């Protein structure tokens, strides 16, 4: 009997934002796999650690922090092989995913390489966590809400931002200055808020207009949600 592969969302940072289902599964699954990078360590593991069966076997999937894809592909190959061995031996395996496994997660690259029954436990995303931190709706009524990765080209971002009252910019990092300019150009800058490390111990909330010009936010999301009426008047 092949084991089941669980993709488990650990939520954005606060260990109390795991779901009851995630906590129950982590307490009993005998094998826990998790992504680990040189720079950032193993954030999903840190979030979930207190709930993990102390006798569980741990399998780190060591991911290179580089933009080219070949080394990452090789890392997923190696990780998937170690996980498949456990599944083939009849053990269930949980793969920990920061936030939600299917919201811009990398778990699918692993899943593509696994041959086993799969179940996904959704997690709290950084999106809703950031909104909770600033107590402001992401979107309401019949507003569109766009999730926009910062690496997209300027023209694309400008077009998307220009036609929505509500947006969330993810993967900001080194694109911060460029994004700030685009938000200014599309009427979003005034109400935009930068949320770093949402719900984590280092959580920091800064209005975009107050964000220092020579710095860059970390593990951040920028929320733009003026509300349809306020925005259309801007």
Binding site for a copy of itself (CB under 8 A): 9, 11, 14-21, 23-24, 100-105, 108, 111, 118-125, 127-129, 131-133, 135-149, 151-152, 156, 159-160, 163, 171, 199
Residue 217 CB, shortest distance to a copy of itself, in Å, is 18
Tokens of 162: 């220009």
- Closest CB 42 distance from a copy of itself, rounded Å: 20
At its nearest, how many Å lie between a copy of itself and the CB of residue 94?
14
To a copy of itself, the closest distance from the beta carbon of 162 in angstroms equals: 12
134 near 195, Cβ under 8 Å?
A: yes
Q: Give the angle subtended at the CA of 188 by the CAs of 185 and 190, to the nearest 5°.
A: 105
Q: In this structure, what token pair is assigned to residue 192?
A: 């935009």
Distance CA 91, CA 100 (A): 23
Quick one: 79 or 123, whose CB is closer to a copy of itself? 123
Task: For the beta carbon of residue 71, count every other beta carbon within 10 angstroms.
Answer: 13
Taking the least distance from each CB to a copy of itself, the nearer of 16 and 210 is 16
Q: How far apart are CB 137 and a copy of itself at their closest, in Å?
A: 5
> Judged by CB, which is closer to a copy of itself: 59, or 147?
147
Q: Which is nearer to a copy of itself, 32 or 120 (CB)?
A: 120
Q: Which is nearer to a copy of itself, 128 or 212 (CB)?
A: 128
In the Cβ-directed half-sphere of 70, how many Cα atoms lie within 13 Å? Answer: 0
Q: Which two tokens stand for residue 153?
A: 């080209």
Q: What is the largest CA-CA distance in the chain?
A: 62
Q: Which helix (H) or strand (E) holds 126?
A: helix 126-134
């Amino acid at each position: 009997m092949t084991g089941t592969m669980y993709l488990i969302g650990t939520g954005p940072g606060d260990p109390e934002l795991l779901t009851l289902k995630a906590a129950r599964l982590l307490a009993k699954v005998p094998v826990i796999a998790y992504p680990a990078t040189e720079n950032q360590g193993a954030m999903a593991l840190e979030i979930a650690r207190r709930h993990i069966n102390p006798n569980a076997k741990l399998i780190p999937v060591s991911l290179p922090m580089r933009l080219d894809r070949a080394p990452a592909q090789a890392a997923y190959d190696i990780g998937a092989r170690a996980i498949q061995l456990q599944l083939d031996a009849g053990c269930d395996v949980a793969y920990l995913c920061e936030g939600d496994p299917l919201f811009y997660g990398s778990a699918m690259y692993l899943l593509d390489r696994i041959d086993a029954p799969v179940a996904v436990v959704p997690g709290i995303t950084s999106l809703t966590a950031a909104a909770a931190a600033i107590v402001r709706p992401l979107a309401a009524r019949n507003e569109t809400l766009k999730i926009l990765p910062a690496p997209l080209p300027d023209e694309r971002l400008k077009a998307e931002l220009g036609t929505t009252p509500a947006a969330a910019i993810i993967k900001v990092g080194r694109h911060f200055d460029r994004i700030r300019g685009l938000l200014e150009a599309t009427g979003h800058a005034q109400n935009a808020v930068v949320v770093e490390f949402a719900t984590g111990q280092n959580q920091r909330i800064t209005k975009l207009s107050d964000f220092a010009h020579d710095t860059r936010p970390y593990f951040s999301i920028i929320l733009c949600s003026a509300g349809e009426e306020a925005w259309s008047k801007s």
